[in-house]
Structure 1
Amino acid sequence: MIDRAAVEAVLNAIPDPATGRGLVEAGVPKGLTVTEDRAGFVIEVPADRTAAYAPVRDAAEAALKAMPGMARVSVILTAETAPAARKASLSPAAVEQTRAKAPVPTDRPAHVRRVLAVASGKGGVGKSTVSVNLATALARRGLSVGILDADVHGPSLPTMLGLSGKPDYVDGAMVPHRAHGLKAMSVGLLTKAEDAMVWRGPMASQALTQMLTQTRWGTEDQPLDVLVVDLPPGTGDVQLTLIQKTPLDGAVIVSTPQEVALADARRAHTLFQRVNVPTLGLIENMSGPVFGRGGAEAEAGRLGVDFLGDLPLEASVREAGDAGAPLTSGDVADRFDAIAAAVAQKLGL
């Protein structure tokens, strides 16, 4: 079993560039979590110091992995939230767990015209598959598209887009990976593929904030038309952090046809209603003999939102995701193109 004191001793042997003291003595590790065979923490520094601390992150990660019995390590380097933004995140307008309110979001990411959330409420309905293929379908329309994998505990974007390797830093900002016409960022690109994110809500929210606000999504000359955010299942910390950090221009909700999934889709719609984010429509995924069909379309009618289309349960979709190559042709790709056209119109793109 990994001992916390031993972890702190290993980290304290690495000097802090700012003070020369050990990392723990200097208070560098934030949210240090130590369990039976794994450890993780965040290094939070000013934006202009991220390049200086990148070697520190790498050294800490390597030193912890070298400890006997250590199976998994996660070290995230992030820039400090500006004081004004930090104050806003703690304001009374923040979303409460017991009664959702519309928070006062900070500004949208720099040089991003629209932010689209893809949500499900329930896990396992193919939301990430829809997010990736919807994003590439939007890109096929000639739009500049980014995709952010906000599922901190179960990132799937690297696999579905065939990506690996940590992003570069330029002037304190991360440079997103490029693949299949998209700019992409995921916590899975900041850690090893086998690492488990042993984080509580605040650390997960911090990771989302870093990827959302400290990624070079676009420039003044070439802004990003739309950032697609692949949300994790549920209506918890990550969803509320996204709502607090940026104005959302709309949400698309993905569900399979059966009632157990539709019940969670209703909850996701209710969350967006309460925080004044328009639900652009529902998508029925895995439609066909196995799960049935028509459930999401009927639910959209009950909720008073548009039904954007259905996507059949086909092996080609799974094969494309496993191969890291989104669909570009065939019936399902055509359906994604039709959904993308409707979403782009609703977003004014």
Structure 2
Amino acid sequence: MPQPNIDAIHAALARVNDPEIRKPITELGMVESVTASAEGVVAVRVLLTVAGCPMKEQLTRDVTAAVSAVEGVTSVDVALGVMTDAQRGELRTRLRGDAPANEIPFAQPGSRTRVYAVASGKGGVGKSSVTVNLAAALAARGLSVGVLDADIYGFSVPRMLGVTGRPTQVDQMIMPPIAHDVKVISIGMFTPGNTAVVWRGPMLHRALQQFLADVFWGDLDVLLMDLPPGTGDIAISVAQLVPSAELLVVTTPQIAAREVAERAGSIALQTHQQIVGVVENMSWLDLPDGSRLELFGSGGGQAVADSLAASTGTRVPLLGQIPIDQRVREGGDDGRPVVLDAPDSPAAVALRSVADALAARSKSLVGKSLGLTPVR
């Protein structure tokens, strides 16, 4: 067999992405050296971003598989090293350029990321379930998606998406874990066990700012922010830190939930945010005889949409009605979103329909400079 070609090996390595950063390891400066013997033995030395990189075994497997496919290669020896501080600094520059360390990319005029803040007036309406399933459905469409669990006190997104890993830090950048092709960050990844978070307002604002600025999200198409119920500190901080974020209001059909959902959506009047639409969750229960049992009443989602449209003077559509489905609860407990685990179920179909509406939505021009100058 011919001796392996070094250029062909480098081309193969260029198809290997870092599992956390999702960019080729050759572009990230992670390939330190490549040698090939006449017998076809290839030695590759790869530099990890940090010593305790949780993805080093997967990276080793990916490199081995890619290089083994090159003509003439008989065996692959992958050696792992660790980047120096200077190399990590160069990596940060490659990823973020000259942007300040505390800059929020989604708040910049050139950002193409659609940010949806998923809000509700009260707890227990399934806001987090809707968030994680929309994220999984959007990622399944091929979009680059992130979820920020902004419910600091009542975080639940890690369990619902099945995230077990913890973020790693590379030169003041936090690398978010990935589950179902969705990048995820939550305060639950930084607290031991089921420890409660006991913080006042300023700490909440700072945590949200760090999640937005210090986490390396990459080039996201969509960022979903799972807000806590109500119109408190986090909702106000989101409006301040990411003014272009659009509100997605989740409610159930019952009157009590409908009234508080209207209050949650009406915050847009004070923050000058746009409301992308309303999702009605737990709309009905399908019975074996084909009939529907409306456990929480009916018409609540449309009433919220109509009320918010009247108060804001804008069009606020009812994007979907999600039926009660035991598989939604089971998937949330097991970290398997129903849109992936039972894609043909009525709830999954309804959730995918909402995701389709969000994916097709064009970027809002609210708050954006159009670069126009008046003509005299």
TM-score (ref. length: structure 2) = 0.62
1:228 — aligned with what?
A: 224
Residue by residue over 1:193-244, the C-alpha shift from the partner in whole angstroms, topping out at 9 and shown as x without a partner, is: 31111111111221111111110000xxxx1111100000010111111111
Residue in structure 2 matching 1:277, options 273, 280, 289: 273
The percent identity for this pair of structures is 46
2:334 — aligned with what?
A: 323
Inter-CA distance 273–229: structure 2 relative to 1 (3 Å threshold): same
- The CA distance in 1 between the partners of 2:361 and 2:267, in whole Å, is 20
- What code does the residue aligned with 1:142 have? G
Partner SS for 2:130: helix
- The CA distance in 1 between the partners of 2:278 and 2:251, in whole Å, is 7
1:111 Cα offset (Å): 6.6
Residue in structure 2 matching 1:261, options 257, 268, 271: 257
Q: Where in structure 1 are there 5+ consecutive unaligned residues?
A: 1-50, 52-81, 86-104
Q: Is the 8 A contact 1:147 1:230 kept in 2?
A: yes
- Answering whether residue 148 of structure 2 is matched by residue 148 of structure 1, we say yes
1:299 Cα offset (Å): 2.5
TM-score (ref. length: structure 1) = 0.66
- Answering whether residue 117 of structure 2 is matched by residue 125 of structure 1, we say no
Q: Is the 8 A contact 2:112 2:363 kept in 1?
A: no
- The CA distance in 1 between the partners of 2:247 and 2:301, in whole Å, is 15
Q: Is the 8 A contact 2:118 2:226 kept in 1?
A: yes
- Answering whether residue 367 of structure 2 is matched by residue 337 of structure 1, we say no
Residue in structure 2 matching 1:309, options 297, 307, 320: 320
Q: Is the 8 A contact 1:110 1:213 kept in 2?
A: no
Residue in structure 1 matching 2:248, options 248, 252, 265: 252
Q: Is the 8 A contact 1:111 1:224 kept in 2?
A: no
Q: Is the 8 A contact 1:111 1:217 kept in 2?
A: no
Inter-CA distance 83–178: structure 2 relative to 1 (3 Å threshold): closer
2:157 — aligned with what?
A: 157
Structure with more contact order per residue of length (Cα contacts < 8 Å, sep ≥ 6): 1
- The CA distance in 2 between the partners of 1:108 and 1:265, in whole Å, is 29
- What code does the residue aligned with 1:310 have? Q
- Within a 5 Å distance, the mapping from 1:1-349 to structure 2 comes to 107-108=107-108, 113-218=113-218, 223-288=219-284, 289-304=294-309, 305-327=316-338, 328=340, 329=343, 330-348=345-363
Q: Where in structure 2 are there 5+ consecutive unaligned residues?
A: 1-49, 51-99, 285-293, 310-315, 365-376
RMSD: 2.5
Inter-CA distance 322–106: structure 2 relative to 1 (3 Å threshold): closer
- The CA distance in 2 between the partners of 1:191 and 1:309, in whole Å, is 35
Inter-CA distance 134–84: structure 2 relative to 1 (3 Å threshold): closer
From the CA coordinates, give the structure whose radius of gyration is larger.
2
2:35 — aligned with what?
A: none
